[in-house]
Amino acid sequence: MRRYAGVLAYIASVLVIWATGRDVNSYMLTTAVDISIYVLITLSLNLEADIAGIPNFGRVLTVAFGAYIAGGVLGRIALWALGLNYDYVADNPTAASALSKTLTPPMAALLLLAGLFLAGIVGAAIGVASSFPARRLTADYLAITLLAFGDVAYYIGLNYEPLVGGTLGVSAPPIYEGIFGGGVMRAVGAALVSASVATATYVLFTRLDKSPFGRILRVHREDPELVSMLGRDPAALRGWAMAIGGAASAVAGLLYALHVGAVHPRCFERINFTFYPWLIVVMGDMGSNRGVLEGVFIFIVIYRLLDMYKYEVGNVVGFDPVWLGYILFGALAMLVIVTMPRGVVPEEAKPLIEIKRRGEE
């Protein structure tokens, strides 16, 4: 049952929503996007920190820059392609309104694909750049350095207004509206796009984990010097791991911004896109993609139920349930560490080399 703890918790939450007369369809569509985005982020963190042994406490960096692609780049590309003479950030309300009237479904679809590609490229580049300190720093100092790097995106976005409007933020280009229309269809489209990208990434990361590259990353996690003895460059392995993780998390940031419909630097703080993903990985199991998936389900169920029933819960506990969320997540992490130190779905031992049986060659 532990292997399906997250999925069972999600099914139970749907039944609770239905039994209490809340909007089940809205809950399922919203949580589909939430789960997809956090699957992308936590899979990237699992690859870097738990498989490759790189303590990345700056995950928010690439997530934020992925969102900045949506708010500061895609809108400008769309205006240029349509021949509209607006500055997407300085004239944001007017520019966004003009795009909503002129953006056709094929152009919106191309813009979405361009955004996914650009976010992946930018995230990979930032990941490679972030791997440079790992060449000389030990794990403890590297963790603190990457934690500091995580604040870079926050302060750049907040103080450099041409990027995403500074303290005011910007509206994201109406890409989902252009493809699917407004209202319920927009929500359905956002859920389908996010879930499709997350599913494809999960399959890719699972195959990557079972490949020779995944096995050598696990060797690097245990003993980087042994990697050198095997003829591989540890610095290059760290660069590849952080490039792949940075690309996946930047795509998550892009999808988050398009779903929310706006980009504001204050949304990208450590708690949401660094500490919560680490909590999910600890709950699921460090090194297990399946465990990460179950951990995401558990986290999103608790997070969303507290948000939906915050007034009822507040009347019972006597204080703002926002603080109850922090208490519950902290207590849950301690409970998992004490009772299930290997996580909900423990990592399976994998051989260094793949042994073929006689007759398989």
Neighbours of 215 (CB within 10 A): 17
Single-letter amino acid, residue 177: E
Q: Is residue 289 included in any domain, yes or no?
A: no
In total, how many domains does the chain have?
Answer: 1
| 99 and 195 Cβ atoms separated by less than 8 Å | no
Q: State mean pLDDT over 198-210.
A: 93
Q: Is residue 95 included in any domain, yes or no?
A: yes
Q: Is residue 336 included in any domain, yes or no?
A: no
| Residues spanned by the domain of 78 | 28-270
Most confident of 206-210, 244-248, 262-266, 318-322: 244-248
Q: Is the pLDDT of residue 31 over 50?
A: yes
Please report the pLDDT score of residue 350 as a whole number: 57
Q: Is residue 137 included in any domain, yes or no?
A: yes
Q: Is the pLDDT of residue 358 over 80?
A: no
Which of 215-224, 277-286, 331-340 has the least mean pLDDT? 331-340
| 142 and 133 Cβ atoms separated by less than 8 Å | yes
Which of 93-107, 133-147, 252-266, 294-308 has the least mean pLDDT? 133-147
Please report the pLDDT score of residue 30 as a whole number: 93
Q: Is residue 90 included in any domain, yes or no?
A: yes
User: Bigger pLDDT: 49 or 114?
Assistant: 114
Q: Quick one: pLDDT band at residue 360, thresholds 50, 70, 90?
A: very low
| 277 and 41 Cβ atoms separated by less than 8 Å | yes
CB burial of 100-120 (b: ≥16 within 10 Å; e: otherwise) equals eeebeeebbeebbebbbebbb
Q: Is the pLDDT of residue 97 over 50?
A: yes
| Mean of all residue pLDDT scores within the chain | 86
| 202 and 189 Cβ atoms separated by less than 8 Å | no
Residues in the chain: 361
Q: State mean pLDDT over 222-248.
A: 86
Most confident of 118-127, 147-156, 207-216, 314-323: 118-127
Q: Is residue 155 included in any domain, yes or no?
A: yes
Which of 174-183, 193-202, 328-337, 338-347 has the least mean pLDDT? 338-347
pTM of the entire predicted model = 0.90
Residue percentage of the chain with pLDDT more than 70 = 91
Rounded to whole angstroms, the Cα distance separating 243 from 99 reads: 33
Q: Is the pLDDT of residue 72 over 60?
A: yes
| 59 and 41 Cβ atoms separated by less than 8 Å | yes
196: exposed, middle or buried (Cβ count in 10 Å: 0-12, 13-18, 19+): exposed
Q: Is residue 315 included in any domain, yes or no?
A: no
Q: State mean pLDDT over 42-59.
A: 90
Please report the pLDDT score of residue 225 as a whole number: 79
Q: Is residue 167 included in any domain, yes or no?
A: yes
User: Bigger pLDDT: 27 or 286?
Assistant: 27
Q: Is the pLDDT of residue 67 over 60?
A: yes
Residue percentage of the chain with pLDDT more than 90 = 45
